[in-house]
Amino acid sequence: MFEILKLAPLFFGLEVQEITILINKVLHQIQHFSNNEVLAFSGDRIEKAMILLEGKLKGEMIDYSGISLKIEGLDPPQMVAPAFLFGPQSIFPVNLSALSEGKILIIYKNDFTSLLSSDSRVLTNYLNIVSGKVQFLSHKIALLSYKTIKEKIASYLLNQLNPGSSSLIMNQSQKGLAEMFGVARPSLARTISKMEEDKIIRWERNRVIILNLKSLELILGHLA
């Protein structure tokens, strides 16, 4: 019944039998949902942990005008909004609806904390998940706080660069990098070209050579 949970990050390191025993020790429900069913609205209070067992869900973030901003699919054995289960704003960050029929494992908050207390592996896994979100978002904020394309490039290169090395292998196309930075590809190419002109870097297709590390660092230094 819970075989899929062997693959869930929350239960990493546990066998199916162990998982089943843990879950059967706490109050839980199996909720069935049908195709196109709305499971939760953005802003609704979250009362329970929800882990997808079967089927497919969709999370939509809605903006002021009603146009959906971001759509994200959820497959088993993903947990719904793990980092919003606790905290001062424990509300659904998205509209949650079904893309198929399926099943969700439901554990109310108090029972979920009991589950966490009962096995240090599960507790550590959950703390890793939530803390990992913080670390991911912190990194994203650092990236978003760079305003100019030159800063974004410098930051990216300095982050990818191994200490003591002066070149790096690119595993990302310029097009992909532009998407990642949220900028226009031709603008990215133009800025790279300018940095090449200025003899800061040499940009080959799969490799970037740092010609003047100090200049690269100074680009970011102007942030203060």
* C-alpha distances in Å from residue 70, one per residue of 44, 66, 95, 188: 18, 12, 11, 24
Q: Is 174 in the site for a copy of itself (CB under 8 A)?
A: no
214 binds DNA (CB under 7 A): no
Q: Which listed option, a copy of itself, DNA, none, makes contact with residue 24 (CB within 5 to 8 Å by class)?
A: none
The full DSSP string for 94-155 is: SEEEESS-EEEEEEEHHHHHHHHHH-HHHHHHHHHHHHHHHHHHHHHHHHHT--SHHHHHHH
- DSSP state letter for 15: -
Asked if 190 is part of the footprint of a copy of itself (rule: CB under 8 A), the reply reads no
Tell whether residue 134 is a contact of a copy of itself (CB under 8 A): yes
Residue 145 interacts with DNA (CB under 7 A)?
no
| Rounded Cα–Cα distance for residues 156 and 14 (Å) | 37
Q: Interface residues for DNA in 163-182 (CB under 7 A)?
A: 173-176, 182
User: Does 158 help bind a copy of itself (rule: CB under 8 A)?
Assistant: yes
The 8-class DSSP code of residue 58 comes to: E
- Interface ranges with a copy of itself (CB under 8 A): 63-69, 83-90, 93, 110, 113-114, 116-118, 120, 123-124, 127-128, 130-135, 137-138, 140-141, 144-145, 147, 158, 182, 216-218, 220-221, 223-224
- Interface ranges with DNA (CB under 7 A): 147-150, 173-176, 182-193, 203, 205-206
